[in-house]
Every structure is written in C-alpha cells, then in structure tokens.
C-alpha cells in the first residue's frame, strides 16, 4: 500500500527495510537453495536489536509495540521468510518470561535474550502432539532443587543454533484435564541429557534450523520453572501463541507482497504484447490489502490492551491463506518460468504452506475462532462490530442508527419487502434523525460527518434492509458530490434541501451515455439501464463521456426535458427500491451543472455498495450464529458440529476483512480510487458467499419466506452486478495496477 513518509515510519522499520534491500534479498536465493544457516544476517539482526523487539527497554530491548513489530516482520518476510522464524520463536520464548516469569527470571534472562546472546526457541510440538497441545508426553520430575526432563520435541526452530528454550512438560501426569498438570520451563543447553537428534529437511523455510530434540533426564534448575508455580504452563504457552499468530500473519503479508511484486514485474514486462493484463492481479492485490489491514487491526487491538485472541486467529487464518493464493497466482502468471530456481517465485510457493500449518493449522484455527465467536457473542446482535477506539461522536451516531434499525426497520422489512413497498415512513424518520444530511457540511444544515461514518451508517442500515441502505447511499453520494465539487450557488440552492430530505438524489451510471458540448450547454444522450430510487429522486448525478472519452458528472433534474423514466422493474431482491431505466434524449444541461470528473461519484458509489454488502453479510452472519445455537441435531446444537464451526469461522473472517477494506476505502477516498474498487469487489462477493452459507446452515428453513435468509440471498447478486459487474471492475482495476504509479500503492501500509 502507500509508502509511508520517512517521518511517519518508525526508524527501526526504515532500518530493516534498508537491511532487507541491501543485504537480504541479494543472498536469499543462494542461502535458501544451499539450506545454509544465515549466520551473517542473523548477526546483523542482532546488531539492529531485533532479538529484543518486544522486550521493554528496562530489560535492554527495543520496547516496540505489536504493530511496529509486525511491520518489522513483514519487511523481513518480504526479503526472506526464514529470517522471520528465527525472530518469532525467540520472541515467543522471551514473552513467556516477560509476561509470566518472576522478576528474578526477567532480570536473569531478558537482557541476554534482548542482546541475542541467549538465542530462544519454543519446545512445544511432539511426534504425536501438534495442534492438540494437551496430548504432550514430555514429563518433568522434581528431584530436590532440580527437575529432570524426559521426552521428545519436534519442529523446534533454532533447535540447533539456539541455546535457551521455553519448554512445556507435564509435572503431574495424572492431572485431569491434562493442561492443569503442565508447567513451563526455561531450558538452557550445556548439561548432559539433551541431544539434537537431527535437523529436519523441509519443503521450504530453508536455512533456518528446524530440529528434533530428545531429553533424557535432562536437569533443569527449579529456579527456571516459569513463574515459580507448577500447573500454569499451558496458559503461559498459549498466551505466547497469540503473538506468534500475529507474527505468522505479518510474515505471510510480507511473502504475499514479494510474490505480488514478482507478478507485477512480469505483467509490466509483457505490457503491449498481449492486450489487457490478467484480471487475477486484481484479486491478488485485493486479498493482500485485506490481509494487511486485518493483521494491523489485530495488532492494534493488542496494543490497546483489548482482548485479541480471536482477532489474532482471524489475521493468521486470512493472511496465511492469502499468501498461499498469491504465491500460486504469481506462479501462474510466470508460467513455466515460475518453476525455475533462478526466480524467487518458486521459493514463495514452497514457503507459504508453512504459514497455513504453523502456530496451529488453519483447520484447527477455524475451530478455535468459532468457539471464541460463540463464547463472546452467542446469540447477541453486533458480533464483530465493536466500535472500540472510535470517536465518541461517531459512536453516538452509529448507536442512534442501530437503534432506529432495530426498532423501525427490522420489524417491517420482511413484510414491506415482500410487498415491494417503498419505505416512505422510514426515509422520513431518517430525515428527522439527520441521516439524509450526514455528510453535508454543517454550514448547509447537515451533520458534517466524514466518509468513514458514512460507510458505517450505510452498513448499519443494510443490516436491517438493503433497500434503505441503497436509498441513503445514493442520496448521500449526490450530496457529497455537490459539497465537494458544486458551484457556490448550487450548494446554497440544493444542499439544505438534500440535508433535510425535502429533495432526494440518486446516482445514474452507465458507459453508454454521451455528452456533447453545445455552446454554454451540454447535450446528453443515452440510456442508464438501472437507477435506484428513481421515481422518488428529484435530482440525478449522471456520468457521461464527452467526445474525447473523458467521463464527466452532470446534475440533471428528473423533470428535465428529454429525461424519461420507465415504470419500476420487478426485481429479484431489494424490492421497494423502485429501480427504473432512465432515458436521455437530447437533455440540455447548463455548463454550471457540470460538477467535475466522474471518478469521485464512481468512487462513492463503490463505497456505498461495499458498505451495503458488509451490512448484508453481517445480518446473515448474525442469523447463522443465532440459529446454530438454537437448532439441534444428533443430540447437540449444530454450532458444536465441526462442519458448522468451520463455516462460521470463514464467514466471520471474510466479513471482518471486507469491513476493514471498506473503512480504509472511506478514509482514503480521493487518494486511492483502487481501494474503493477492491472494497466493492471483495465485499459484494463476501455478501453472496455469506448469505449462501447462512442458507446452508439453516437448511430447509433458510429456503422459506418465514426466515429473512432467503431475502438476504436474493439481495446479494445486485451488489456484484452493479456498475457493470465485478468482472468489469476487475479488468479496470488490473489496468490501473499495471501502471507503476497506481500499482505502487499496494507496496506499503496505509
């Protein structure tokens, strides 16, 4: 995404980026192919202080917050993923000491860990115990002031090169449940009884050592029992995995970024040889952007001290799956050349499966996410929509809209939609609440809210009924267009009426409308196939192309001579929206009613569709979550069946990614038009997928009109098909990304 100014980027991130470009990338391929431990690079990481990244300065570390740490890991992952593993295992061990050790243990271990003199690792997995940590068999027997460890640990990163490990063992083998009999120890090499049996050969993740360690009555001082109390080790280790999952998410973003850059270089090199660029780069860019947003959102939650286990799990799940998909697409774009060892594409392809497996396989991760969703939200409304960290004004407005939706929209939506009735009373209430002037400047009678608040309001309305969201979204887009680009007399004449709801506006977008200059006027001809809320709108913002192909935006009143509306269409979904065809036959528009380039209204239209899609997906997800607790089969609620849990986890993760993309597009409206296109594509397809999955979860009941599920499903297609459809959007986005200028915004965080 956008490269941050040096004044905005933490200095350590700038230093790591420079280190990666100058020292890591030139040698990564050789080290990877030779499977050689990168001693010199690790030494440089030590000099940069990265081994103490999350260790407080009081103990000799850098004291970074989680977000900055993730930035560092992303940069390293972009250069060579193996380096992130060296840091991750070490950092997890350090955090166990920091968060759960005694003060004496902190003073004894943390300064050495921060300097990299003590090289940490995590001894957790065993030959028969991977994601199921409670199945470990390594035991620790107390003998005076010493514990004797016996057991085997697998897949220990830094196992050969490291010297200080956080190890989980059973101090009470008879404990039930097993985890209450587990304890964590800081194990230091140098005594008999520990043998590095072998370094494990791997598909990727080369260079960094991954070893099998065997302990036979290995002595560990009792002073190295973390926290000094037995039976707490399972919680200690699990808390460390939360940061480990954020590390996996950040490194996945870094690898995906590298693979995307390789693909874009290939696409640009082929420019002019064979027509349009592959549409796949649009999906690669969109998923990468969503993964980055989701990762830093989860990190931000942790930095604020909020509970973030669910968020870290979703970030890890989405980012790792994204890295896999982007790596595969990069190889497809390269063709046969992508399999050659002379290019880094094959390395990315080998590296990415590890992140699907590491810190808990994604299948297990989905089960954990589902359980956390049910634990936190159950059948309560508002799952995934925490407004923590939002400004108070925004929270109050959103709460008011939510209350209106719950009280006045949801109770009547099903019956009103079935009858295809225009929601006049609800629109009137929205006007009274000020929603129709939400983003109109206060000087013209509006609330003067920003576009992020606009997106949240539209999302909340769509949660109740997408018809309402479409009416408000189109109306506010016209108002915002006037406020930003309209002439002074236009603003004075129209904005107060739009803010009150006395006049309603709508967008009319079509490729086929032409604009011809005729003196001080423009003449519009063509047909807009579908205009939302057309019979109830007094003014349309119409996009048309002049004879040079430039798209301009014109304000046209419904009563204009030559403008004709068809009768409202009967539609699959969003009934009551009164969608009509608008025919323009020689409609004359004064030059004063040209309000600039069409990019701004198009961006707002995309943003409104994306926000509507998020709200629709949210409504469907809440219905699925609620029904999964109420419905039982085979003697238990269906939410306890693994198949349903996997669906709930994927739905929640997709919705969260779509929401973050939409909010980011709102915050950067006017700067990065690509973001609005990404948000529209991703969110609308998420809405379709989630509504279909909700129907699956409801079974036969979801197919009946007694439940709103079938309405959600009917409402979804129009969002994907709007503005020419997502396939057209993908091609246009791919063309923009192919240019160096437009494509560069994907390369760094916004």
Residue 740 — pLDDT band, cuts 50, 70, 90?
A: low
Record the tokens describing residue 741, joined without a space.
Answer: 């200028």
Pinpoint the alpha helices (H) of 486-598: 488-500
486/489 Cα distance (integer angstroms)? 8
Q: What is the pLDDT of residue 3?
A: 34
Q: Residue 8's CB: how many other CB atoms inside 10 A?
A: 9
Active-site annotation holder among 126, 230, 359, 732: 359
Question: Distance from CA of residue 166 to its chain's centroid?
Answer: 31
Q: What is the pLDDT of residue 747?
A: 58
Segment 528-540 shows an average pLDDT of 95
- Domains 391-469+480-597 and 600-747 belong to one CATH topology: no
Q: Which CATH number is associated with domain 120-235?
A: 2.40.110.10
Record the tokens describing residue 164, joined without a space.
Answer: 């200080």
Is 672 a residue whose pLDDT tops 90?
no
Is 111 a residue whose pLDDT tops 70?
yes
Which residues make Cβ contacts (< 8 Å) with residue 561, sequence separation at least 6?
Answer: 587, 588
Q: Is 188 a catalytic residue?
A: no
Record the tokens describing residue 554, joined without a space.
Answer: 């014109």
434/630 Cα distance (integer angstroms)? 38
Q: pLDDT tens-digit profile of 409-461?
A: 999 999 999 999 999 999 999 999 999 999 999 999 999 999 999 999 999 99
Is 39 a residue whose pLDDT tops 50?
yes
Report the chain's mean pLDDT, rounded to a whole number.
92
What SS3 state is found at 288? Answer: helix
Q: What is the pLDDT of residue 379?
A: 64
Q: Per mean pLDDT, which range of 290-294, 416-420, 485-489, 519-523 is the poorest?
A: 485-489
Record the tokens describing residue 402, joined without a space.
Answer: 């939510």
* Beta strands 539-545; 580-590: pairing state: unpaired
Segment 152-163 shows an average pLDDT of 94
Give the up-direction half-sphere exposure of residue 512: CA atoms within 13 A in the CB hemisphere: 11
Contact 209, 37 (CB under 8 A): yes
- The DSSP element (H or E) to which 582 belongs, if any, is strand 580-590
195/189 Cα distance (integer angstroms)? 10
Concatenated DSSP letters of 591-620: GGGEEEETHHHHHHHHHHHHHHHHHHHHHH
Give the C-alpha distances (Å, rounded to integers) separating 142 from 176, 178, 222, 294, 329. 19, 18, 8, 44, 53
Record the tokens describing residue 414, joined without a space.
Answer: 């099903």
148/212 Cα distance (integer angstroms)? 19
- The DSSP element (H or E) to which 676 belongs, if any, is helix 673-698
Contact 59, 106 (CB under 8 A): yes
Q: pLDDT tens-digit profile of 52-77?
A: 999 999 999 999 999 999 999 999 99
Segment 477-501 shows an average pLDDT of 89
Nearest residue to 320 via CA among 287, 347, 296, 344: 287
Q: What is the pLDDT of residue 614?
A: 98
Q: Which residues pair with 196 in a beta bridge?
A: 213
Nearest residue to 237 via CA among 89, 65, 82, 74: 89
| Boundaries of every domain in the chain | 120-235, 391-469+480-597, 600-747
CATH 1.10.3720.10 fits 600-747, yes or no: no
Which residues make Cβ contacts (< 8 Å) with residue 699, sequence separation at least 6?
Answer: none
State residue 381 phi and psi, 5-degree precision. Answer: -70, 160
Task: Calculate what percentage of the chain has a pLDDT beyond 70.
Answer: 96
| Domain range 391-469+480-597, CATH architecture | Beta Barrel (2.40)
Concatenated DSSP letters of 237-276: HHHHHHHHHHHHHHHHHHHHHHHHHHHHHHHHHTTTTSSS
669/605 Cα distance (integer angstroms)? 11
Q: What is the pLDDT of residue 4?
A: 35
Is 570 a residue whose pLDDT tops 80?
yes
Is 472 a residue whose pLDDT tops 90?
yes
Residue 748 — pLDDT band, cuts 50, 70, 90?
A: low
482/601 Cα distance (integer angstroms)? 10
325/330 Cα distance (integer angstroms)? 9
604/456 Cα distance (integer angstroms)? 14
Q: What is the pLDDT of residue 348?
A: 97
Is the bond preceding 177 in cis, omega lying within 30 degrees of 0?
A: yes
Q: What is the pLDDT of residue 132?
A: 78
């Amino acid at each position: 995404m956008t490269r941050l100014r040096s004044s905005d980027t933490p200095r350590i991130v700038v230093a790591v980026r420079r280190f990666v470009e100058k020292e890591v990338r030139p040698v990564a391929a050789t080290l990877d192919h030779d499977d050689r431990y990168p001693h010199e690079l690790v030494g440089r990481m030590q000099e940069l202080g990265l081994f103490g990244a999350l260790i407080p300065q009081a103990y000799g570390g850098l004291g970074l917050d989680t977000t900055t740490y993730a930035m560092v890991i992303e940069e390293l992952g972009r250069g060579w993923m193996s380096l992130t593993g060296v840091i991750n295992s070490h950092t997890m061990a350090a955090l166990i000491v920091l968060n759960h050790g005694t003060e004496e243990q902190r003073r004894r271990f943390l300064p050495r860990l921060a300097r990299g003199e003590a090289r940490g690792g995590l001894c957790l997995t065993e030959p028969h115990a991977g994601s199921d940590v409670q199945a470990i068999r390594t035991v620790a027997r107390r003998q005076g002031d010493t514990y004797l460890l016996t057991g085997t640990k697998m897949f220990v990163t830094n196992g050969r090169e490291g010297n200080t490990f956080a190890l989980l063992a059973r101090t009470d083998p008879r404990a039930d449940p097993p985890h209450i009999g587990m304890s964590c120890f800081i194990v230091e090499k140098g005594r008999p009884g520990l043998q590095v049996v072998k370094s494990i050969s791997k598909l990727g993740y080369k260079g960094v050592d991954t070893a099998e360690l065997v302990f036979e009555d290995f002595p560990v001082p009792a002073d190295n029992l973390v926290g000094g109390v037995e039976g707490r080790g399972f919680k200690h280790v699990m808390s460390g995995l939360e940061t480990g999952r954020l590390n996996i998410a950040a490194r996945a973003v870094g690898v995906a970024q590298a693979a995307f850059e390789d693909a874009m270089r290939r696409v640009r090199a082929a420019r002019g040889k064979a027509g349009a660029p592959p549409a796949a780069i649009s999906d690669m860019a969109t998923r990468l952007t969503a993964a980055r947003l989701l990762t830093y959102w989860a990190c931000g939650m942790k930095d604020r001290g909020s509970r973030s286990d669910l968020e870290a799990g979703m970030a890890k799940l989405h980012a790792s799956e994204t890295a896999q998909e982007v790596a595969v697409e990069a190889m497809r774009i390269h063709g046969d050349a992508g399999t050659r060892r002379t290019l880094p594409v094959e390395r990315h392809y080998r590296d990415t499966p590890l992140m699907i497996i590491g810190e808990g396989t994604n299948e297990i991760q989905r089960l954990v996410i589902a359980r956390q969703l049910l634990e936190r939200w159950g059948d309560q409304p508002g799952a995934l929509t925490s407004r923590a960290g939002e400004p108070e004004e925004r929270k109050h407005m959103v709460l008011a809209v939510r209350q209106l939706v719950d009280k006045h929209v949801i109770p009547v939506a099903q019956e009103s939609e079935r009858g295809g009735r225009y929601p006049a009373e609800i629109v009137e209430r929205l006007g009274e609440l000020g929603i129709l002037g939400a983003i109109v400047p206060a000087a013209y009678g509006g609330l003067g809210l920003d576009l992020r608040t606009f997106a949240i309001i539209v999302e909340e309305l769509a949660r109740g009924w997408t018809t309402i969201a479409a009416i408000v979204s189109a109306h506010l887009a016209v108002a915002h267009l006037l406020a930003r680009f309209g002439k002074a007399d236009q603003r004075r004449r129209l904005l107060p009426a739009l803010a009150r709801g006395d006049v309603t506006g709508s967008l009319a977008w079509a490729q086929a409308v032409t604009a011809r200059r005729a003196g001080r006027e423009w003449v519009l001809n063509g047909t807009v196939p579908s205009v939302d809320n057309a019979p109830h709108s007094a003014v349309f913002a119409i996009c048309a192309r002049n004879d040079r192909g430039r798209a301009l935006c014109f304000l046209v009143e419904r009563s204009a001579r030559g403008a004709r509306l068809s009768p409202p269409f009967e539609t699959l979904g969003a009934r009551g929206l009164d969608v009509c065809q608008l025919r323009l036959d020689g409609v004359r528009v004064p030059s004063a009613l040209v309000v600039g380039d069409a990019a701004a209204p198009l961006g707002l239209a995309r943003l409104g569709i994306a926000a509507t899609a998020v709200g629709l997906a949210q409504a469907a997800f809440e219905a699925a979550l609620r029904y999964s607790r109420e419905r039982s089969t085979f003697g238990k609620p269906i939410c306890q069946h693994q198949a349903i849990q996997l669906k709930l986890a994927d739905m929640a993760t997709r919705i969260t990614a779509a929401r973050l993309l939409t909010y980011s597009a709102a915050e950067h409206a006017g700067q990065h038009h690509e973001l609005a296109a990404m948000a529209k594509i991703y969110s609308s397809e998420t809405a379709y997928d989630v509504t279909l999955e909700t129907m699956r979860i409801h079974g036969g009941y979801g197919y009946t009109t007694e439940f709103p599920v079938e309405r959600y499903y009917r409402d979804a297609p129009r969002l994907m098909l709007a503005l020419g459809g997502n396939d057209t959007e993908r091609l246009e986005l791919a063309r923009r990304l192919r240019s160096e200028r437009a494509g560069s915004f994907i390369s760094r965080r916004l």
